[in-house]
Amino acid sequence: MSAPPLATLAPIALAEVIDRAALQCRVDRKYVITVDELPHLLDQLTPYARVLDIDGERSFRYESVYFDTPCLASYHCAAYRRRRRFKVRTRTYLDSAQCWLEVKISGARGRVTKHRLPYLAEDRRTVRSGRGFVDDVLDRESILSNLSGSPLEPVLVTSYRRSTLLLPATASRVTIDTGLTWQDGDQTLRLPGIAVVETKTNSAPSLVDRALWQRGTRPVRISKYATGLAALRLDLPDVPWRRTLRRHFRADASSALLELPVPTRSEQEASCA
């Protein structure tokens, strides 16, 4: 993302963003655009938006570790569009070393509810110390019966840079993610040419939604966890994200960098035997 467009936006502190637009229960709309389109979009927002600024920085490094059961219950709930879906992850703000354990519940009409627990960054690859919190949330959301006794293990790691905007007139937020990377074991997928723009509102479309619609950009189905895992594991069902995968993950092989594990010498010799 080029710095000048972000630099033209008025700053806002994190505490004010949380106070004015925490939106733990909200409607999310997601868009995929090229990084080359970002400067024009940000120019349009200059009179209306404020950008999160922490010690002069306006773009921050994130890492999320997603957890699932051995049979990928969370993934399959999304793949088969179950009415009630969940995701469990740790989110680490790498620049400040702050970490949260999060449970996201997706319900009717696109409503998303997020539950958070402060977490130790060194524990971010396990839910062991926070399993009671996870079970309590899933129990209150009537989801626990499907997971009782099932372990939750790390499945996918995502990393990216995020800028956060506040639209004061509607108390809504916009996040812009670039430098997107997914890691599944020894496989790594990088998409340096795209940006994921996500609007977070109480319900009504925001100024950013309308600006993107006017340019012919429509919301897409994309989940950093589910779409990323589908891109790396071709045997998984991927119907909800097939168009997104085709247009943005697989359309241009030169822009999607898939790094596969290098076989060991013994593996190479075995394959030639």
As for how many domains the chain has, the answer is: 1
Boundaries of domain holding 124: 10-249
Q: Is residue 99 part of a domain?
A: yes
The CATH number for 207's domain is 3.20.100.30
Residue among 179, 183, 195, 192 at smallest CA distance from 256: 192
Q: Is residue 254 part of a domain?
A: no
d(CA 220, CA 240): 10
| pTM for this predicted structure | 0.88
Q: Is residue 257 part of a domain?
A: no
Provide the pLDDT for residue 115: 94
Q: Which two tokens stand for residue 10?
A: 């008025």
Segment 7-53, tens digit of pLDDT? 889 999 999 988 887 666 778 899 999 999 999 999 999 999 999 99
Max CA pair span of the chain: 68
Residue 184: Cβ within 10 Å count: 16
- Contacts for 178 with CB less than 8 Å, ≥ 6 apart: 1, 35, 38, 59, 160, 161, 194, 195
Residue 258 pLDDT grade (very low, low, confident, very high; cuts 50, 70, 90): confident
Burial (0-12, 13-18, 19+ Cβ within 10 Å), 177? buried
Segment 49-106, tens digit of pLDDT? 999 999 999 999 999 999 999 999 999 999 998 888 999 999 999 999 999 999 999 8
Total residues belonging to the chain: 273
Provide the pLDDT for residue 23: 62
Q: Is residue 272 part of a domain?
A: no
Provide the pLDDT for residue 136: 93
Provide the pLDDT for residue 83: 81
227 close to 177: Cβ distance less than 8 angstroms: no
Segment 154-208, tens digit of pLDDT? 999 999 999 999 999 888 899 999 999 999 999 999 999 999 999 998 878 999 9
Say which residue, 146 or 15, is predicted with more confidence: 15
Q: Is residue 75 part of a domain?
A: yes
Residue 142 pLDDT grade (very low, low, confident, very high; cuts 50, 70, 90): confident
Provide the pLDDT for residue 253: 47
Residue 110 pLDDT grade (very low, low, confident, very high; cuts 50, 70, 90): low
Q: Is residue 72 part of a domain?
A: yes
Q: Is residue 267 part of a domain?
A: no
81: alpha, beta or left, given left = phi > 0 and alpha = psi -120 to 50?
left
* φ and ψ at residue 134, rounded to 5 degrees: -60, -50
The separation between the first and the last C-alpha atoms of the chain, rounded to the nearest angstrom, is: 49
Provide the pLDDT for residue 106: 85
Mean pLDDT across the stretch 227-238?
96
Q: Which two tokens stand for residue 107?
A: 């319900």
Q: Is residue 244 part of a domain?
A: yes
Provide the pLDDT for residue 271: 41
